[in-house]
Structure 1
Amino acid sequence: MTGTGGEVLVSAEGVFKHFPIRQGIVFKKEIARVHAVDGVDLTVRRGETLGVVGESGCGKSTLARCLAALHPVTGGRIVFEGTDITRLSRAGLKAFRRDVQMIFQDPYGSLNPRRRVGSIIGDPFAIHGLADGAERKSRVQELMELVGLNPEHYNRFPAEFSGGQRQRIGIARALALKPKLVICDEPVSALDVSIQAQVINLLKDLQEELGLTYVFIAHDLSVVRYVSDRVAVMYLGRVVEDAAGAELYGGPRHPYAAALLSAASIADPDEAERAERIVLTGDVPSPIDPPSGCRFHPRCPKAQDRCVTDDPALTVRGGDPADHLTACHFPVEPGEHLAGRAAGISQVSTEPELPEATP
């Protein structure tokens, strides 16, 4: 959407988010942990759109909620405009939420069906004490008009709107306080294709008009390519590649990123016929007990013995631009074909046995 290279708005520095698994009835004991986000380093610059992609369960949504301070982090820190938000007081968090808002995936579940739309969109003004009475109603109706809704529908309930209109309501609510960062957690995945295009174009127009910064999470790789300046690829709780959108889609360097992008749909039938699909073997390892070394090595067609023991750093690899980071010991070379190649390192089991709780 916009150019990169500006001031850093928010950064994640070695962020961990683990969810404990407990067993027992009266005295619950922690027996394991789900490593949802496991050491993520990420930066988002002012005015850009950062796309985040990866398989289901890779930690995208958990990372988004950590960036929005909806989940407390287990380790590391998140810095927003120079302030570590992981250490903010309750009052500090309330002020922070004026600058960071989320658009949720489900346009049905994210709106209270018993409340009128005007009340839902007006909540941010009420919570932060910014407008009341006629002024609040006027500002809510301005927001409704901004996102393409009829201001006269102020008193309707969510059930009286379509899915696309409900998502516009969610967008209006997110924009009420004029935030600096908007985190879009799969905002179009629950919508029809024709409605998806409308919402995506709306988000682009609003970014240009209001100078917004987006973190855009999606499964649809073509959507991410269309909206993003930069793209971060996640696998099993970690970022494995981070690059400008054109750079990543033109030549992914991490074998997982290459396999993921090979699955993207191609509109041109001739080009689609020539494209090679990289089919990964094995299952995604459990985040309860992730593999040692590089987490992708049990499924990687380029894996070698070093990948089992050494965890690769997310850094610039030979010949890549300074903003193209890859966490791989043996990155994909230009013109290299991975289709049909089997994984080099096998894995005995991807489902760990949980230890029994002792009384």
Structure 2
Amino acid sequence: MTAEAAQDDVLVSVEGVVKYFPIKQGIVFKKEVARVHAVDGVDLKVRRGETLGIVGESGCGKSTLARCVTGLYPVTAGRITYDGEDITGFSRSRMKAFRRDVQMIFQDPYGSLNPRRRVGSIIGDPFAIHNIADGADRKKRVQELMELVGLNPEHYNRFPAEFSGGQRQRIGVARALALKPKLIVCDEPVSALDVSIQAQVINLLKDLQDELGLTYVFIAHDLSVVRHVSDRIAVMYLGKVAELADAPALYEQPRHPYSAALLSAASIADPDEAERAERIILIGDVPSPIDPPSGCRFHPRCPKAQERCVAEEPALVVRDGDAADHLTACHFPVEPGDDLTRAHAGISQESTAPALPEATT
């Protein structure tokens, strides 16, 4: 593939994106005293028609990154390009037009729907906001969307409370599809659903992608779900991408120690294989995003950490022996045969937590 063709294949490009949230103190005159480094220099490309999975622990910045991509959060620094246009400097009117092409499915099917409004009104909101259809035409379009996602069009006038959790998430999917978007960001869309319902919603999203030519950014913490739906997977840790690879390559041979630890914690359906599997236990807690560690942010918990990891931040690049699209941010990536289950962090760290008072008798 030529460079021009590869560039045309990219729908969204995230370049050096930073998102900090200020922490302020004071009653009358509030002063910024620190910042939460939610996303801190992320580079990603989302290709047309693919599903890019983003995984990581809670607080790693994956949902914040998704909200930056959709324009819900302004970026602190960096650039986000959609279909060749830099959206970070869009005016309000241009952002409204951009949001017709980019929609979001939220995690909570209960909290994302207004309980006081009927389903037909909720799904029809995009048509009203963008002045596309009204009256009988809007009702017809809403009922077509309901049928498309597996809901009964006759339930147009019901309230969200009259639907199950899986049906409510289908309502959210229908609302996201209303304006025929090119990109849909799925922010943990099945984590609040029962396992049997999760499969139905995932299969629905896959069928819609094949039928409508959609592009997905799929955020989840369930590694088995991400493996099933994703073409490529980005692993995030403390605001940065630790590893980015095709899904089969990442699951067969993770190169970043954090990716290996995540995969070792994934559930395994085969009981015999699950009994043989050994889990990589990481020491310590995730460092505070207010004051992240120097160098590699994973080094305080990494079983392969060395002095270089403390002083030098690793670049997200192709490591020796990996495919051209397998990127790893690690000075000492995991090699075949490495046993991390019995290793301990190589760099000692002093706790930054406040000392507890000594017990008295």
> Do Structure 1 and Structure 2 share a fold, with TM-score over 0.5?
yes
User: Which is worse superposed, 159-168 or 341-350?
Assistant: 341-350
**Deviation string, structure 1 residues 108-140 (Cα, Å, up to 9, x no partner):** 000001110000000000000111110000000
Deviation at 1:273, TM superposition (A): 1.4
Are residue 205 (structure 1) and residue 226 (structure 2) matched?
Answer: no
Match of 2:273 in 1: 271
Deviation at 1:349, TM superposition (A): 2.5
Structure 2 counterparts to residues 213-252 of structure 1, below 5 A: 213-252=215-254
SS at match of 2:193: coil
Structure 2 counterparts to residues 1-16 of structure 1, below 5 A: 7-16=9-18
**Deviation string, structure 1 residues 50-69 (Cα, Å, up to 9, x no partner):** 00000000001000000000
SS at match of 2:88: helix
Q: Alignment partner for residue 20 of structure 1, among 11, 19, 22?
A: 22
SS at match of 2:217: strand
Deviation at 1:348, TM superposition (A): 1.2
User: Which is worse superposed, 342-351 or 296-305?
Assistant: 342-351
Deviation at 1:6, TM superposition (A): 7.3
Structure 2 counterparts to residues 100-249 of structure 1, below 5 A: 100-249=102-251
In the aligned structure 2, how far is the partner of 1:70 from the partner of 1:351? 33
**Deviation string, structure 1 residues 276-296 (Cα, Å, up to 9, x no partner):** 210000110000000000000
**Deviation string, structure 1 residues 228-251 (Cα, Å, up to 9, x no partner):** 000000000000000000000000
Q: Which runs of 4+ in 1 moved over 3 A?
A: 350-353
Match of 1:336 in 2: 338
Partner AA of 2:135 in structure 1: G
Retained in 2: the 8 A contact 1:285–1:350? Answer: no
In the aligned structure 1, how far is the partner of 2:143 from the partner of 2:283? 52
Q: Alignment partner for residue 87 of structure 1, among 86, 89, 111?
A: 89
From the superposition, tell whether residues 200 and 352 of structure 1 become closer, same or farther in structure 2 (CA, over 3 Å): farther
User: Which is worse superposed, 4-13 or 49-58?
Assistant: 4-13
In the alignment, structure 2 segments of 5+ residues that lack a partner are 1-5, 356-361
**Count of equivalent residues:** 350
SS at match of 2:322: coil
In the aligned structure 2, how far is the partner of 1:231 from the partner of 1:204? 16
Deviation at 1:219, TM superposition (A): 0.8
In the aligned structure 2, how far is the partner of 1:57 from the partner of 1:124? 31
In the aligned structure 1, how far is the partner of 2:344 from the partner of 2:108? 38
Deviation at 1:334, TM superposition (A): 1.3
From the superposition, tell whether residues 350 and 149 of structure 1 become closer, same or farther in structure 2 (CA, over 3 Å): farther
Give the root-mean-square deviation of aligned CA atoms: 1.3
In the aligned structure 2, how far is the partner of 1:71 from the partner of 1:197? 31
SS at match of 1:159: helix
Retained in 2: the 8 A contact 1:18–1:36? Answer: yes
In the aligned structure 1, how far is the partner of 2:14 from the partner of 2:273? 38
Deviation at 1:200, TM superposition (A): 0.4
Q: Alignment partner for residue 311 of structure 1, among 313, 320, 331?
A: 313
Q: Identity, % of aligned pairs?
A: 82
In the aligned structure 2, how far is the partner of 1:201 from the partner of 1:107? 17
In the aligned structure 2, how far is the partner of 1:129 from the partner of 1:352? 56
In the aligned structure 2, how far is the partner of 1:30 from the partner of 1:346? 32
Match of 1:41 in 2: 43
Structure 2 counterparts to residues 57-96 of structure 1, below 5 A: 57-96=59-98
Partner AA of 1:339 in structure 2: T
**Deviation string, structure 1 residues 55-94 (Cα, Å, up to 9, x no partner):** 0000010000000000000000100001111010111100
Deviation at 1:5, TM superposition (A): 9.8
**Deviation string, structure 1 residues 317-344 (Cα, Å, up to 9, x no partner):** 0010000000000000012111111101
Deviation at 1:346, TM superposition (A): 2.0
SS at match of 1:20: strand
In the aligned structure 1, how far is the partner of 2:333 from the partner of 2:149? 43
